[in-house]
Amino acid sequence: MAKHRSGFTALYNKVLNFNVESLFARHPGPGAPRVVFFNQNLPASYFDPKGKPKKEHVYPTNQVISSKYTIITFLPRNLLEQFRRIANIFFAFIAILQFFPEFSTISPGLVIIPILIVLSITAIKDGYEDVKRHQSDRHVNHSQARVLAGGTWVNPNMNGRKSRTFVRGIVPRRSLKRKDVEASPATKQDPDIEYDRADSMEEGEHHVFGHTGENLGPHWHRTRWEDIRVGDFVKIMDNEPIPADILICATSEEENVAFVETKNLDGETNLKSRNACPALTDLHTASDCVSKRNAFSVECDRPDTNMYRFNATVTRNEEKFPVDVQTVLLRGTVLRNTDWIIGVVLFTGVDSKIVLNSGGTPSKRSRVERQINPQVLINLALLAIMAVVCGIADSKIEGTKYPEGAPWLYGADESSDNPRINGLITWAFALITFQNIVPISLYISIEFVKTCQALFIYFDYDIFYAKKNQPTIARSYNLSDDLGQIEYIFSDKTGTLTQNSMVFRECSIAGTVYHGDPEEEEDFKKENSTEIVRDASNDSSYASTSARGDDPTVPSAADATIVKLSSGVLKHFRDERLSQDLARAVEAEPDSENAAQARSLNGFFSVLALCHTVLTAVDPATGAIEYKAQSPDEAALVQAAADAGFIFRGREKEKLLLQTPFSKETERYELLNILEFTSARKRMSVIVKKLDDQDGRLFLLTKGADNVIFERLKAGADDLKRTTEAHLEDFANAGLRTLTLAYKVIQDDEYEAWSECYHEASTALDDREGKVEAVCDEMERELRLLGATAIEDRLQDGVPETIADLKVAGIKIWVATGDKLETAIAIGRSTNLIAEESNIIIIRGSDHPVQQQMIQAVEEFFPDSGILDEHGIVTRAPKSPSTELASAFPMRRLSTGVRDIVGDNNGDRTGGFVLVIDGAALDHALHDDDHKALLLRLATQCEGVICCRVSPLQKALVVKMVKDGLGVMTLAIGDGANDVSMIQAADVGVGISGEEGLQAVNSSDYAIAQFRFLKKLLLVHGHWSYARNGIMIVNFFYKNIVCIGVLWWFQIYCGWSSAYVFEYTYLLFWNSFWTIAPVLGIGLFDRIVDADVLMAFPELYRYGRERTWFSIKSFFIHMLDGVIQSVPIYFIITYTYFTTTSRSDGYSVALYEYSTTMVFAAVIAVSLFNGLNTNVWTAWVFFAIFIGIIILWLFTVIYDAISPGWIVTNVYGNNHYLFTSAYFWLSQPLVIAIAILPRYLYRAWQLGYAPGDLEILRYIRKTQPDLDMATLRSESLRSKPYASSRRRPSSHMSRASIACSSVDNLSLDLRRTQDPRCASRTDMSTGIRSVHRGFDFATEEGGVAMRRMQTNLSERRQSSRNLPSLRQSSPKRSLRLFTSLRRKKSPTLKKED
């Protein structure tokens, strides 16, 4: 029995979890390993005996499709999706049933029309939505790239056929066919053909132009992305996206390095460096690629989803060369700061990593639609019971009355006409009689209302982005009510919350804070316009210090007179007080009182201008210097130094050029070592030697995290440390990213000894990284503190306010980003996700098991939650926060320079908890059901969760974990291709049409231009749509139950024969004309409260989260209302007419005479009841309430007057008896009043004695229509004791209010810094607990460019190991940095605004 039950349960779950898309989704499975051949024929083993290529060696096309349907699958898939609605199955059954003569009511052809109309309208809507997806796909697939063609080039590799999509099938288009052989004469003037300048080709020099001579040679042909094939050579130019996963052959840069922007894949804003495959670096031109001498093959592993792993081998001339992710450019990335690259295509389309991380387009249904199914089942069960009762009762009555000789049963003893058969027929006929209990017009009404709601969203100017002329678009019309029930939001960071643009906001130098001049709107607009000009001129012709073959017509960086804004930097740093201090410092004498300040200013900005890996470029159009940085952080720092007059003028090999206000000549520094930044070191240092006849000292310049720098400072200067700590705390509380700067002067002999140790460590075979780290740590000691910087990662407009209001609305927000941990935390603080008092719990993949970290976190911070008991985890330590954990190591506090900042009461603070978990830890947790459940329970205890270093697939898995594990409504929002899988996995996907392309928008359900629009989309449109649809649906069921109830009570008096009490036409038009308008009025025009009220009071959103407007409870209440109202409508009118006849001639009344009175009473009662359930009576609502009643009157007057000569009806002449009867006029007011009295009394009691928030606010709006609701809310918040907590500054808030001297308020700052309630940060993988002061710095770790720089420095160091310049230097010098001498100030360079 148990086994049978288990099998039934499995079958039920299988049916319940059935997805239509699983039938039509392609399941190619994991691709096989492949070998791609170039300039050589495929081996015979690739073909079967018939000469056809084997299936495993036919590669998919580069066509990517996010749409659902094709010409072939549209009809079956759409019908299957529609017949997931149980009601549609019922309607189809009833329509088929009426094709049999025994059950026919009207023409069978007319019977099937309603279901066909419903299916057709829905199919048209779905088809229109999918056509839009196809158009978006076409935009991507028809993007163009340069592909090798001409000459003797033939791509031997086999590729499959492209899919004939929905749009392609309907509207055939001529497509350009690929030609793998030489071009025909017709292509001579073809603008899509480009040639390399072979006649003057030098190493690395390329020129693109239309060839004027022989056109049969190798060339680059502009080809659609969808036509790119595995085995093609492609040429990518600067700022162009990568169309497929390609292996780099050669680049325009030194040592074949290329820079690529990967934020579309991993969310990281810094550029990554990639290098060409060493075996293919000679393939510089199309001619080289075509040459048969350059034959090679690439053996690749099977396609996989891991974005950070790529294993392949290049075989050329029988030699093998390894290929890894450092030599590959993935689809979705963008080439930056590189003139061009040439590569070969290895993976296309569905085999590319970005597509493998994206799921298929799901068929989403709203929660309301899913909830309708059980309610329809309830009604169908009720219908079945009513039909069975009618069938049994009719059969019993016929069996009893036939022996008594009932005349209507004459001959009812045949095989086809007897009580049993007639009972069965009555049962089937009852299904037809009472079929309106499940209204077919319900679904078409829902579709119509949701379409209108999508148009309301489209035409809402408040969420229209005028700057780009872009409205908010509903790409899936059927999910509008889900927007009002969201409980969890999953957001990307880059491009969604941030602009990926930096602003150097503040700095602390020698204890003095420079806040920067207040940002004025005019300046911001002016600099934004400059930014646009800069983007437009950002071509590959910039003269760069790293480029080969500089153009002599372009001025060098040393001669440039203008410094322009760097890419990713929004504005210049201006501070009037800083300018005055610098002016005084330049004029200061060495022994004056300003000398110390002069040294600090000189040292601070010199560190900013020298400690980096930035390159310089010169715009040939303006002659302005522009900094090319791998990360916008570094660009902002170097830009700020230039704004202060410390202009980095580029590199000459290992010579750094710096112009400062303190020197008339350009200062030159020799770069000796780079101690590179890593996430473990949290700092970067450079060792430089000043090339000056008077000053040849060695300096260590360092920038990094405050806790790392502070523990390495030289003893003393405690006041400066405390002051800087206070400033760092202020910066962090404002959501700024901080760096601490320090330096030290190195003695020559100290450097010589250290250099030998460093060389030995860097060449060690065992534990090289550990030894290098130890040697670097030895040098980075005894530092002198200079100050700190504060950079703002500029948020999208209104992001902090939006997140704060969404949190007030009760929505939990999770951020999923590919950025590193520090960046994720910094953004969390600036966006209000992490409050000032929040306690941060960090779980990361490390040697310490992830499960143990989660258990420790629960024991430490949530001992009374019962989570461990639920999972059966027994710990050795008592569950008390005061008890030391029984773990691999006890929690310990990190020395931060301020005593007892954290205290012992962590976990008891009012700020709550925010969980931060990285991708490595997620990988462990998500692959085990127990670990996943533990993670989910831990996360739900926290106010927010930040997932960092996560892949696109992990984003989707996190969404599914929450959606399936908690059964909550989820929304995912993003703007890049890396967000597609997350958007598709969530109940509602929102795409932001940002700078990262349209991939997210193409896969989304709603497309918005700014994150801030999400607030009104959810709080107003979502809440309105959910309330309207929920109230409309239950009122739809109610009005049909009234009709069915009247029909049911009539069965008592008609022998349970399933006969109609109404004339059939009235029943036919019940849902079409009489009662449809009031419920549509609710769905279209009702407002629970006005939009400004919902925006001002986000707390009202809880009505949606708590599913107030549509539930089984409200369904049963309205069903009961319908049954109760049908009783007086039927019985009072029936007994009124039959007690004494209404006719003056004494004859009895006819059936349709008194039943028409019931129709009028029922329609008027239903319409007024719907009006009673409408919250706002506008002109449109008045129209909707009364239009059905008016149509009923007009129809009755006309229909009853039609003579049999025109149409034979059963009600001809009924007007004569109906409207002259006193019963008709007197019974209706009485019956209608009795019917709606219970609901009226309840609403009156609720408004007068138990009003809710909505009723109170509606009353306030009615009595005080001019009151500003935002003002009302702010007053109510001020009256609450907890409302004084400080909120984050907005994304464009002027900081003039804090532009006062920090010294004056230093004591207050320090007291607040030492407040034990301030936020803490606990790393569960190490046990370290510290205070977060906003440290964040983004740069590539261990990248190709950095390795090349280190190699060059190592080679130069190896060739000059004797260090003669150091030995000749004077051994005794001042330990002060850059002694300030009074010199003539050099001309200040202009900064291009």
Whole-number Å distance between alpha carbons of 936 and 699: 50
Interatomic CA distance for residues 1058 and 393, integer angstroms: 11
Helical (H) or strand (E) element with 274 = strand 271-275
For residue 408, the one-letter residue type is W
Pairing of the two strands 319-323 and 312-316: antiparallel
What span, in angstroms and rounded, lies between the C-alpha atoms of 993 and 468?
Answer: 10
Shortest CA distance to 270 belongs to which of 544, 534, 606, 637? 637
**686 and 673 Cβ atoms separated by less than 8 Å:** yes
| Cα–Cα distance for residue pair 909/1330, rounded to 1 Å | 15
**Do residues 161 and 60 touch, judged by C-beta distance below 8 A?**
no
317: left (phi over 0), alpha (psi -120 to 50) or beta: left
Locate tokens 């036509």: which residue?
227
What are the structure tokens assigned to 1012, written together? 């801030």
Question: How far is residue 117 from each of residues 99, 262, 440, 1067, 1199, measured CA to CA in Å?
Answer: 18, 48, 10, 19, 26
**How crowded is residue 233: how many other Cβ atoms within 10 Å of its Cβ?**
25
Which amino acid type is present at position 375?
A: Q
| 812-816 vs 488-491, strand pairing mode | parallel
How many Å from the N-terminal Cα to the C-terminal Cα in the chain? 82
Q: How far is CA 972 from CA 518, 982, 1003, 1322, in A?
A: 36, 6, 11, 28
Element (H or E) spanning 1117, and its range? Answer: helix 1112-1139
Strand, coil or helix: 25: coil
Structure tokens at 1365: 């310049």
In 1133-1214 the beta strands, taken as DSSP E runs, fall at none
Please state, in angstroms and rounded to a whole number, the distance separating the CA atoms of residues 1309 and 1315. 10
- Looking at the DSSP assignment, which residues form a beta bridge with residue 514? 507
Is residue 66 within 8 Å of 361, Cβ to Cβ?
A: yes
Give Cα 713 distance to the centre of its chain: 42
Check residue 748 and report its DSSP letter: H
Is 492 part of the annotated catalytic residue set? Answer: yes
Q: Which of 626, 624, 629, 594 is nearest to 613 (CA)?
A: 629
The tokens 């890593």 sit on which residue?
678
Q: Give, in degrees to the nearest 5, the angle at Cα 102 between 99 and 104.
A: 50
- Which of 245, 492, 575, 1309 is labelled catalytic? 492
How does 1092-1123 read in b/e, with b if 16+ C-beta sit within 10 Å?
ebbbbbbebbebbbebbbbeeebbeebbebbb
What's the Cα-to-Cα distance from 794 to each of 136, 158, 400, 501, 548, rounded to whole Å?
29, 47, 86, 6, 35
DSSP E strand stretches across 461-571: 473-474, 488-491, 498-509, 512-514, 543-544, 562-563
| Contact call for residues 1173 and 1188 (beta carbons, < 8 A) | no
List strands edge to edge, sheet with 784-795. Answer: 512-514, 498-509, 784-795, 737-746, 698-704, 683-690, 667-675, 655-659, 647-652
Hey, CA dihedral for 842, 847, 848, 850, is it positive or negative?
positive
Amino acid, res. 1328: I
User: From the DSSP assignment, how many helices (H) and strands (E) are in the chain?
Assistant: 45, 42
CA distance 156 to 1041: 70
Active site residues: 492
